[in-house]
């Protein structure tokens, strides 16, 4: 169990992380999501002792990270996959890391196979693609056969096959009793293998709950196109269903297509189209973090290509 308690970090006047508390359960994949500047990286750095919190602490089975006897054997972390000397080969990079944590050199070859880099083991990291660097960084995190994997955007630069491999590997790692705490911007990807979500925004914790609880926040909307929108709206409201009407389009909240179909059939109302829209996890999270987004995109300011006359 990882226990994050009242974690707070300020840089001058700016509050990077404020009073953040949550637990990460053993044997589960916990996704860590939030917009840019939400405090994810600062929190993860505090979780491995790289940034000193102003207040609060992080404990692994009750022990602070900086007090662990063998940190690399408890927590394997990748906070920046670009961090490696370009002049060293993958094998040399891992051998130095293994020696530092008193891990057998034999383990280096094992992790190179585990991440699929054995054929590039003696190539210099400077020539690696972003995906290969991600794999090498992950190999470094796995050296100590840790119980916890703490990964910041591990799928960056991976090709679709690599992303699938990572997803399956992390899922299996957790199924075998490991704990995975992973931040990602790929919400749809995260939804495929995470058990729990920790949602942050503006340096504050917005939610820490099972993924299914988050998904349950999505109310489905049945959209009906009909020439009798006003009549249908009255009927639905009579059944205590919230309705929005815009021209010949009607949106009914908190109901199902089957219920609406039955109603229009019973009252012989002709409909032109009926569809059910369910919000994705991405939409739910965007709504949750919307107010705290530091760098918002504006749909009114799309990229415009320069045209030649």
Partner 1 sequence: MNTTTLSRPDTPTVRHMTRDRRDDFAAVPAAVRSEWIKLRSLRSTPAILGLTVIIGLLLSLILATFVKTDPNTGEVFTVGETFIFSTWLSTVLAIVMGTLLFTSEVQHGTLPNAIAAQPARWVIVVAKATIGSCFGLAMGVAGMIAGFSGAVIGGLEAGDTSGMATTALWGLMLTSLAPVFGLGVGMIIRHSAAAASTVLVWALVIENLIQGFAPANLSRLLVFSAANGLLGIQSAGDTPETMAAALTKVQDAFLFSGYTLMILAIGTAVLYRRDPR
Stretch that binds partner 1, among 43-51, 207-215, 238-246, 262-270 (CB under 8 A): 43-51
Region of 42-50, 221-229, 258-266, 298-306 interacting with partner 1 (CB under 8 A): 42-50
Q: How far is CA 193 from the centre of its chain?
A: 10
- Name the maximum alpha-carbon separation found in the chain: 77
Alpha-carbon gap, residue 80 to 21, rounded angstroms: 24
The verdict on 135 binding partner 1 (CB under 8 A) reads yes
Among the residue ranges 173-181, 215-223, 234-242, 292-300, the one whose residues contact partner 1 (CB under 8 A): 173-181
What is the chain's length?
309
**Which residues fall within 8 angstroms of residue 209, CB to CB, at 6 or more apart?**
196, 197
Among positions 76-95, residues that touch partner 1 (CB under 8 A) are: 77, 79-80, 82-89, 92, 95
Residue 55 is a binding residue for partner 1 (CB under 8 A):
no
Whether the Cβ atoms of residue 256 and residue 222 lie closer than 8 Å to each other? yes
Q: Which of residues 153-172 bind partner 1 (CB under 8 A)?
A: 162, 165, 169-170, 172
Residues 259-298 that bind partner 1 (CB under 8 A): none
By CB under 8 A, is residue 176 in contact with partner 1?
Answer: yes
Six-digit token string for 236:
């639905």
User: Closest CB to partner 1 among 23 and 231?
Assistant: 23
Burial environment of residue 80 by CB neighbours within 10 A (0 to 12, 13 to 18, 19 or more): middle
Closest CA to 203 of 18, 8, 72, 9: 18
* Nearer of residues 173 and 193 to partner 1, judged by Cβ: 173
Distance between CA atoms of residues 179 and 24, nearest Å: 8
Binding residues vs partner 1 (CB under 8 A): 45, 48-52, 60-63, 65-75, 77, 79-80, 82-89, 92, 95-97, 99-102, 110-111, 113-119, 135, 138, 140, 142, 145-147, 149, 162, 165, 169-170, 172-173, 176-178
């Amino acid at each position: 169990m990882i226990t994050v308690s009242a974690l707070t970090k300020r840089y001058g006047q700016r509050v990077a992380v404020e009073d953040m508390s949550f637990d990460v359960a053993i044997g589960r994949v916990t996704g860590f999501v939030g917009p840019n500047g939400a405090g994810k990286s600062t929190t993860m750095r505090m979780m491995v002792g790289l940034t000193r919190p102003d207040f609060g602490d992080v404990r692994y089975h009750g022990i602070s990270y900086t007090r662990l006897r063998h940190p690399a054997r408890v927590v394997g972390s990748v906070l920046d996959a670009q961090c490696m000397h370009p002049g060293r080969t993958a094998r040399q990079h891992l051998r130095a890391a293994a020696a530092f944590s008193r891990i057998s050199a034999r383990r280096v070859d094992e992790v190179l196979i585990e991440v699929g880099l054995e054929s590039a083991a003696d190539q210099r990291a400077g020539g690696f693609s972003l995906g290969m660097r991600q794999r090498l960084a992950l190999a470094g995190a796995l050296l100590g056969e840790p119980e916890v994997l703490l990964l910041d955007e591990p799928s960056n630069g991976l090709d679709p096959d690599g992303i699938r491999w990572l997803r399956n590997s992390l899922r299996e790692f957790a199924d075998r009793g490991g704990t995975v705490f992973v931040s990602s911007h790929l919400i749809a990807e995260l939804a495929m293998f995470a058990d729990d979500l920790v949602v942050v925004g503006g340096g504050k914790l917005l939610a820490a709950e099972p993924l299914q609880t988050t998904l349950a926040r999505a109310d489905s909307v049945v959209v009906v196109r009909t020439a009798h929108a006003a009549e249908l709206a009255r009927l639905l409201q009579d059944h205590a269903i919230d309705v929005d009407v815009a021209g010949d389009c009607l949106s009914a909240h908190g109901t199902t297509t089957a219920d609406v179909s039955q109603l229009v059939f019973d009252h012989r109302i002709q409909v032109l189209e009926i569809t059910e829209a369910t919000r994705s996890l991405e939409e739910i999270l965007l709504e949750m973090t919307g107010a705290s987004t530091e760098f918002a995109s504006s749909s009114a300011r799309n990229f415009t290509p320069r045209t030649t006359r």
